[in-house]
Amino acid sequence: MTEENYNVYNTSIVYDYKDHPNIKSGRCDNCGNAQFKISVKGFIYIRECRNCGMNKSI
């Protein structure tokens, strides 16, 4: 998938899962990829898409 097919999410912002739940379960809302990097910062899990870099706190 090329960058032209991405949705309008800003990849520099960490979105909150409560405000922006998944459109498709287990998929990135921005590009549809199913592979993520998970990190923990201050007891908050941050999920980052490996394809486009969209971040979401879960």
The predicted-structure confidence for 14-45, as pLDDT tens digits, reads as follows 999 999 999 999 999 999 999 999 999 889 99
pLDDT at 4: 61
pLDDT at 27: 95
pLDDT at 51: 94
Spatial distance between the Cα atoms of 27 and 6, rounded to a whole number of angstroms: 13
The predicted-structure confidence for 6-21, as pLDDT tens digits, reads as follows 888 998 999 999 999 9
Please work out, in degrees rounded to the nearest 5, the angle formed at the alpha carbon of residue 26 by the alpha carbons of 20 and 32. 80
